Amino acid sequence: MPSHTEENYLKAIYKLAEAEPDTAGVSTNRIAAALDTRAASVTDMLRRLADKGLLAYERYRGVQLTTEGQRVALLTIRKHRLWEVFLVQQLGFNWDEVHEVAEELEHVQSPLLMRRLDAFLGFPALDPHGDPIPAEDGAMRRPAHRLLADLEVGDRGTLAAVKNTTAPFLQYLDKVGLQLGALVEVLDKVGFDNSFEIRINRERTALISAEVSCNLFVTE
């Protein structure tokens, strides 16, 4: 059974590979940056995970999860996202408060508990940030959406997911009035800095930066 730290590594590697599917492998430096640790520590852990058959690691050529490594990563992601749904729906947490708590809860090792939690919540497809929740067998249906940054003036979309799930970013979205399900219309794109003027829910307007627009997914 992988340790909590090993699960964190596998989850991080899976997400990094998912973010850049065209790359051959995930580099040690990217893993170190994602986990905020030293490259030397990452190298030691990668060797340990490779010895356990959870990933294929070749120095200077990146990392790829094995079938078993991917299974563990997806199971950890499943537990994390189900706990986030529970915290929001049942305990009244806001979406910017759940990540760190779910980081602790995701390491529970009871399949029965997670099955019953899933059923109790009504088998949710998405977490509070719009991310898909893997099934117990690892199957995960990824919604069809696009970045707000790719919209043109006059385009509309419904905010479906956020890429950046840090508390400050989510608190900023709350302040602006951008929650999942909000209707967003692009009123103007500023060529100088690629910022956007948008209308939210046909009511209020807001000016958002290029960085913000690159962290919001919409469906049309």
CATH of the domain at 158: 2.30.30.90
Residue 79 covered by a domain: no
Residue 84 covered by a domain: no
Q: Give 159-216 pLDDT, tens digit per residue.
A: 999 999 999 999 999 999 999 999 999 999 998 899 999 999 999 999 999 999 999 9
Residue 192 covered by a domain: yes
CA 71 to chain centre: 17
Residue 8 covered by a domain: yes
Q: Give 44-53 pLDDT, tens digit per residue.
A: 999 999 999 9
* DSSP string for 14-83: HHHHHHSTTSSSB-HHHHHHHHT--HHHHHHHHHHHHHTTSEEEETTTEEEE-HHHHHHHHHHHHHHHHH
Domain-terminating residue out of 65, 89, 117: 65
Q: How far apart are CA 188 and CA 63, in angstroms?
A: 42
Domain span at 24: 4-65
Judged by DSSP in three states, 120 sits in: helix
The secondary structure element, H or E, covering residue 84 is helix 67-91
Residue 30 covered by a domain: yes
Q: How far apart are CA 34 and CA 140, in angstroms?
A: 23
Domain-terminating residue out of 33, 49, 65: 65
Domain-terminating residue out of 16, 49, 65: 65
Its pTM stands at: 0.92
Q: Summarize the confidence of residues 123-147 as an average pLDDT.
A: 94
Residue 41 covered by a domain: yes
